[in-house]
Amino acid sequence: MRYENVCLASFGSAIPPIELSSAAIEEELKPLYERLKLPQGRLELMTGIKQRRLWSPGTKPSDGAAKAGKQALATSGINPADISCLIFTSVSRDMMEPATAAFVHRHLGLPSSCLLFDLSNACLGFINGMVMLANMIALGQIRAGLVVAGETAEDLIHSTLKHLLTDTGLTRKSVKPLFASLTIGSGAVALVMTAQSYHDSGHYLRGCTFQANSAYNHLCQGGQNAEQGTLMSTDSEELLTRGIETAASCWHNFKRELQWKTNSIDHFFCHQVGRAHAERLFSTLQLDPNKNFETLSQLGNVGSVSAPITMALAVEQGVLSVGQRVAILGIGSGINSLMLGVDW
């Protein structure tokens, strides 16, 4: 898909206050490590994640999303009354019903005429939301919209640690699908998008491509139950292989659709999974790793927030210059890949 008049007006982000280091997680898992003779330091060494962030107790996904949304709206200078669509896109949500977007809508004081709904697609939710808003803008249905995400990793990490410490039947082999859950962190991000004719930010979404590979939807699955809380099981090695395979097809289509050459792209913003993932992705797609802006070591894998907050923080830090070309490379369980091109 190609776009001509869709602008990225402004990002907002919210970084949780609590730091949880990989070393602290391993200290808590010391009984497991000793029983299974696991080497200390393996979590950070294998993932590249030094720490992840957590919210204060009682924080809901809508709280973080609203905080990021408020910042995005304030930075854009756009009247909240002009926001015609709000999309909440996280894996985490306040409750099954109503939509978490309803809580964010109320927090932000958006108009009653604003269309609101939740959209969920694992770690691709936010950039899926960007595409939804872009389509509505391109069709002339709205002039301005807001996409938000607020991930809360606290329950997943707590439940995973409890399971690892209490299930004495776990082996070195059976713990592997659980360790990916310890890479997850919390955070929130938001983006105001507009029609160029309404508010020209000078930053343009040029197009996107997507690729599905659902034969491998079993490689990363999770959910909640009353006894164990939130748990996920991830075949990290196979998911890495099939995810990169899916991304390679998507990347080929991306360059063809946008008619971009690899060397014309100045910055890449990717879903933050782990060190091995980034290295293999850039090697397979033959990308310059020096153009990869990362937040992995400090934030971990923040689900749907990862790729957009990485770009948001790059904007905040002045990494992007006017006229530069950006590719957002998304890969999520399912398996799906979605890639967006932006002229900054």
- Indicate the SS3 state at residue 1: coil
Q: What angle do CA 194, 134, 211 make, to 5 degrees?
A: 150
- Tokens at residue 163, please? 């399971």
Question: Is residue 237 packed enough to be buried (19+ CB in 10 Å), middle (13-18) or exposed (0-12)?
Answer: exposed
DSSP secondary structure string for all residues of 265-297:
--EEEE----HHHHHHHHHHTT--GGGB---HH
Which residue do the tokens 């713990």 mark?
175
Range 92-103 burial, b when 16+ CB lie within 10 A, else e: bbbeeeebbbbb
Question: Is residue 17 packed enough to be buried (19+ CB in 10 Å), middle (13-18) or exposed (0-12)?
Answer: exposed
DSSP secondary structure string for all residues of 207-222:
EEEEEE-GGGTTSEEE
Contacts (Cβ under 8 Å, ≥6 apart) of 279: 289
Q: Are 12 and 312 in contact (CB under 8 A)?
A: yes
- Tokens at residue 278, please? 């980034």
Please give the single-letter amino acid code of residue 212. Answer: A
Q: Which of 114, 123, 208, 270 is catalytic?
A: 123
- Indicate the SS3 state at residue 278: helix
123 is catalytic: yes
Rg (CA), the chain: 20
Range 106-116 burial, b when 16+ CB lie within 10 A, else e: eebebeeebeb
Closest CA to 154 of 14, 3, 17: 17
220 is catalytic: no
Q: Which residues are catalytically annotated?
A: 97, 123
